[in-house]
Amino acid sequence: MQARLEALGESLSKEVPRIKVIPLYGALPPEAQQLAFDPVKEPRTRKIVLATNIAETSVTVPGVRYVVDSGKAKVKKYRTKLGMESLLVVPISKQSALQRMGRAGREAPGKCWRAYGKDEYESWLQDEIPEILRCDVLEAVLKMKARGVQDVINFPLMDSPDVEAMKHAIFQLNAMGALDDEGNLTPDGKKMASFPLPAAYGRALIASSSPEFNCVLDAIDVISLLTAESEVFIQPKSQEQDEEANANRADILRREGDLLTYLTTMQRYASENTNRFQWCKTRNISARAMKSAMMNRKQLRQLSVTHGLIDALPPPDPQPFEPATPERAECLIKAFLRERLRIGRQRWRRMVVLLRRRGRIPLQFIHRVCYGGRSWRR
């Protein structure tokens, strides 16, 4: 979506004179989002804001006179058969159409152009589908279990999720060790429910404390960035900026994968003792996201002491940076594995098969880029 907005903005700027095209979406850094709200400084220039759903209800852009409504939205939807959430382009609801129309003329008379017909509009739902009916219910099931609800499938919710989605969530929690075979919360499950984290990250944090891995602080650093309030890496707008950003990020990018890149980014930022804002700016990193990650890091370290994952808090920052060794990297990646996987092929399709935890299963990484193309097993 970001790439499409940027491309459309460049196309409009070239074809239409005296306009200023500004994208607006959630992943933009605050200073870039602010451009949509600032008045245009150039005389006799019209501002065009290319926005995602964020402009529907979350914010009000002053001075809007005209709205073009596509009638589409990208929403997160859980796909039970795949066991994952996907961003899908779907028709909006009638209520959303009214909200979008209301963006025009809030300060003066305005107009709304709708890129759809009346028949299409009449086929839409009146209201948006509640989030619990279209998203992964794993976190909700875990919280319900932590609050003593045994029969989560038949619990009288206002909007009851699909039964298959509930069963899949129970199956996943059992595979992660949060529930036993009778559906009862395990000691690890109680810890996972107490962390302000998605269950998969809570499970990874607990796994990292085992003697086999012993990499709790590394896991906290990675999770802190993964749960930051906004995107850490700001996407460049051009190929030249992309090449420049990669060159400036040479000290944090790790060829072993995203986890090690996040770990290195967090630890280099924490070790910076001069100007952290400039450090972020040079590497095209969101300073706001890094501050959020540091707050997450502090909270998770304190909770890890409370739950006995580490004995005591580490020394305060800044501390000297120490690159992750291959052994530390291997332990960290293993701790983050949610399930044991086996790769196979059926005709042209690649399959990832979930296997029982009690089975004796060799572990192999899918991406050969890890560790120079070598694969290692457990």
Q: Is the C-alpha dihedral spanning 72, 73, 77, 82 positive or negative?
A: positive
| Per-residue confidence (pLDDT) for residue 327, from 0 to 100 | 78
What pLDDT does residue 83 have?
66
Q: Is the pLDDT reported for residue 77 higher than 90?
A: no
Q: How do beta strands 46-51 and 349-354 pair?
A: unpaired
Neighbours of 82 (CB within 10 A): 9
pLDDT of residue 70: 93
Q: Which two tokens stand for residue 254?
A: 């790790």
Residues whose CB is less than 8 angstroms from the CB of residue 263 and which lie 6 or more positions away in sequence, other chains included: 218, 221, 222, 254, 324, 332
pLDDT tens digits, 261-298: 999 999 999 999 889 999 999 999 999 899 999 999 99
Is residue 279 a contact partner of residue 291, using CB atoms and an 8 Å limit? no
Q: Torsion angle, CA of 139/141/142/146, rounded to 10 degrees?
A: 140
* Residues 83, 181: Cα–Cα separation, whole Å: 20
Judge whether residue 28 has pLDDT over 90: no
If you count them, how many residues does the chain have?
378
Tens digits of residue pLDDT in 298-326: 999 999 999 999 999 999 888 888 888 77
Mean pLDDT of the 219-225 span: 94
Contact between 72 and 90 under an 8 Å Cβ cutoff? The reply is yes
Cβ burial of 43 (10 Å; 0-12, 13-18, 19+) is exposed
- The model's confidence at residue 75, banded by pLDDT at 50, 70 and 90, is confident
pLDDT band for position 55 (cuts 50, 70, 90): confident
For the ranges 30-44, 45-59, 153-167, 218-232, the maximum mean pLDDT occurs at 218-232
The reported pLDDT for the residue numbered 283 is 92
Model confidence at 137: pLDDT above 50: yes
pLDDT reported for residue 193: 93
pLDDT higher than threshold 90 for residue 341:
no
Give the integer Cα–Cα distance in Å for 326 and 336.
Answer: 15
Residue 363 has pLDDT above 50, yes or no: no
Angle at 278 (CA atoms; ends 321, 40), nearest 5 degrees: 150
pLDDT at 2: 66
Q: Which of 59-63, 65-69, 169-173, 343-347 has the lowest mean pLDDT?
A: 343-347
Cis peptide, bond prior to residue 211, ω within 30 of zero: no
Selection from 293, 291, 286, 171 nearest residue 225 by Cα:
293
Tokens found for residue 308:
């006995």
Quick one: pLDDT at residue 370?
36
Q: What are 22's strand-pairing partners?
A: 49
376 pLDDT tier (thresholds 50, 70, 90):
very low
Q: Are 120 and 71 within 8 A, CB to CB?
A: yes
The closest alpha carbon to 176, from 357, 29, 6, belongs to 357
Q: Are 257 and 302 in contact, with CB atoms under 8 Å apart? A: no
* Cβ-contact 120, 94 below 8 angstroms: no
pLDDT, the chain, mean? 82
Task: State the pLDDT at residue 1.
Answer: 63
**pLDDT recorded at residue 188:** 93
